[in-house]
Structure 1
Amino acid sequence: MSSRAARWVRVGLPPVLAAFIAIVAWEAWVAVREVPAYLVPAPSAIVRAFTADPARYALAARTSMVEALGGLLLGSGAAFVLAVAMAHSRPLERALYPLALLVKVTPVVAVAPLFIIWFGFGTLPKMLVAALITFFPMLVNAVTGLRSVDPAAHDFMRTLHATPLQVFRMLRLPASLPYVFAALRISVPLCIIGAVVAEWMAGDGGIGQVILIANGDLDTAALFAAVVVLASMAIGLTALLALLERRLLFWHESSERV
C-alpha cells in the first residue's frame, strides 16, 4: 500500500465510516419507528429533496460562499492589521480591547438589521455580518502570536540592528502564523453562520433563504438538505485550510501528520 493510500486509510476512512454508520442507523430508525417526515426525514428523503432541484442548492451555496469568504477575508484582514498595532503598543491594546470585546458580545441578530438599513439589501451587509463574527477570534490569536517570539531571537535581531519591519517579517510574522491558522479554523464555520443569519434577515438568495422557505413550507427534507450543504461547505473550507496550513507551516509541530 502506498503512503498516500495508507494516510487516507488512517485519516480519511474513520470519519467516512462513522458517517456511513450514522446514516444507516438514521434510515433504519426512521423506518422502524415510522417517524413522520415533517419531524425527522430519512436520509433517503433528504437525498431526494436535493436531487429534485440540485441547481437551486448549488446557486444558493455559491451565493452564501461568496458572502462568507468575503466576510472572512474582511474581518480577518482588519483584525490582523489591528493586532499588529496592538502587539507593538500596550496602551493601544488597553484602549482598543474593550471595543473589540464589545463587538464580540454584540448579538449578530441585533447588528444585521442595522447593516441592512445602512448598506441596503446587497452582498455587502451580509459580508459585514460575517466579518463581524470572525473579527474577534483573529484579533486575540494574532496578538498572542505576534508576541510569542523567542526573547533570545528578538535580542539577537536587535544586536544586528534589524529594523522593526525586518523584525516583523523575519520573526513576529512567522511566530504568529500557527495562531493565525488556529483563528481561521474557528472563523471558517463562523463566517458561514454569519452569512446565513444575514440571509435570514434580508436575503434574496443563499442557503439562508432556502432554509427560510423550506421552514415556511414545512418541507423538513429540503431544510435538512440545506443544512447538509452548509456542513459540506464548512468541511470543504476546513480541509482546504488544513492543506494550506501543512504547506506553509511544515516547520511547525502543528503540521505533524497523524
Structure 2
Amino acid sequence: MLGTLAAWEAGVYFWHVPVYLLPPPSLILRTLIQNAPVYLHASLVTFGEALLGLCLGTCIGICIAVLVTFWPTLEHGVMSLAILVKSTPLVAIAPLLTIWLGFGWQPKVVITALVTFFPVLINVLVGLQTIDASLLDLFRSWRASRWEFLWHLRLPHSLPYIFAALKVSTPLALIGAIVAEWTGASGGLGRQMWLAYTNLNLPHLFAAIFILAAAGILLYWLTTQVEQRLAFWYLSSQ
C-alpha cells in the first residue's frame, strides 16, 4: 500500500500531472487534515445510513430465507421478486425514493437495504437448506418442532453463510448510501463527492474516496473478527 502511494506521488511529480486530473496523495492528506471536521460529520452521516440499511437488509434477507425454508412453495415467487429488485439499477430507484421519502435519511437506508438483502438472502437460504440428512433424521427422532429445527440446527449451520454474505454486503452498504446521497442529500460523503465533482475539486473528491476505502477495509476486518468469535465452535467441528 505504501509503495503504491509512493509511486503515485512520484508519478504525479515527475510527469507534472495537473491537480484537476490526479492530485498527489500528499495533497489529498493535507485536504483531509484541513477539512477534518467537515469529513468527520459527513462520514458519520453516511456510515449511519449504511449501517442502518445493512441491518435492515440483513434482517429482511434472513426472515425471507426462513419463510422460504418453512414453506418451500414460496421459493419461486419470492426469488423471482428478489431477482427483479436486484436487477433494477440503483440510479433508477434512488431518485424515485428521494421524491417519495424526501432528502432525509429514509431513502438512503431503503436503498442500502435493497442493495444488501439479496446476498444475505441467497447465502442464508443455502445455509438453511443444505443440512446433512443424518442430522435431520436425528432431530426427527427426537420429535423436534419446526422452531427447534431452526434454532438448534439450521441457524447454527448457517452462521458461516451469514458471515460470508456480510463480507459481501458490508462494502455494498457503503456504495448504496453513497449512490442514494448523489440523488439528493443535505449531508454525507456522497454530497461532498458530488460537490467536489461539480467544482472539479479532485483533492476533496479523492479525500472522500480514501475515507470510504478505509471504512470498507475496517468494516470487513470487523466482520471477520466477529465471525471468528461467534462461529469458531461451529467451524472447529467441521
**Structure 1 residue 209: deviation in Å?**
0.5
- Residue 183 of structure 2 aligns to a residue whose secondary structure is helix
2:219 maps to amino acid: L
Which of 124, 127, 139 is equivalent to 2:109?
A: 127
1:183 has 2:177 as partner: no
- Residue 34 of structure 1 aligns to a residue whose secondary structure is coil
Provide the rounded CA distance (Å) in 1 between the counterparts of 2:33 and 2:77: 53
**Structure 1 residue 89: deviation in Å?**
2.3
1:142 has 2:117 as partner: no
**Structure 1 residue 249: deviation in Å?**
1.2
Using structure 1 for the length normalisation, give the TM-score.
0.89
Which of 71, 84, 95 is equivalent to 2:66?
A: 84
Alignment: residue pair count: 238
1:192 maps to amino acid: L
Provide the rounded CA distance (Å) in 2 between the counterparts of 1:38 and 1:116: 31
What aligned pairs does 1:182-201 form with structure 2 within 5 A after superposition?
182-201=164-183
**Structure 1 residue 251: deviation in Å?**
2.7
1:230 has 2:212 as partner: yes
> Identity percentage over the alignment?
43
C-alpha offsets along residues 149-194 of structure 1, whole Å, 9 cap, x if unaligned? 1110110010011111111111000111111111111101111001
CA contact (8 A) 2:124 2:161 kept: yes
Unaligned runs of 5+ in 1: 1-18
Using structure 2 for the length normalisation, give the TM-score.
0.97
**Structure 1 residue 126: deviation in Å?**
0.5
For 1:247, the equivalent position in structure 2 comes to 229
For 1:26, the equivalent position in structure 2 comes to 8
**Structure 1 residue 233: deviation in Å?**
1.2
- Residue 251 of structure 1 aligns to a residue whose secondary structure is helix
2:161 maps to amino acid: Y
Unaligned runs of 5+ in 2: none
Provide the rounded CA distance (Å) in 2 between the counterparts of 1:191 and 1:214: 22
Which of 143, 153, 166 is equivalent to 1:161?
A: 143
For 1:54, the equivalent position in structure 2 comes to 36
1:41 has 2:32 as partner: no
For 1:10, the equivalent position in structure 2 comes to none
C-alpha offsets along residues 212-252 of structure 1, whole Å, 9 cap, x if unaligned? 11112211111000000011111111111110000011134
1:116 maps to amino acid: T
For 1:206, the equivalent position in structure 2 comes to 188
Provide the rounded CA distance (Å) in 2 between the counterparts of 1:98 and 1:214: 39
Provide the rounded CA distance (Å) in 2 between the counterparts of 1:137 and 1:223: 29
Provide the rounded CA distance (Å) in 2 between the counterparts of 1:200 and 1:136: 22
Provide the rounded CA distance (Å) in 1 between the counterparts of 2:19 and 2:132: 58
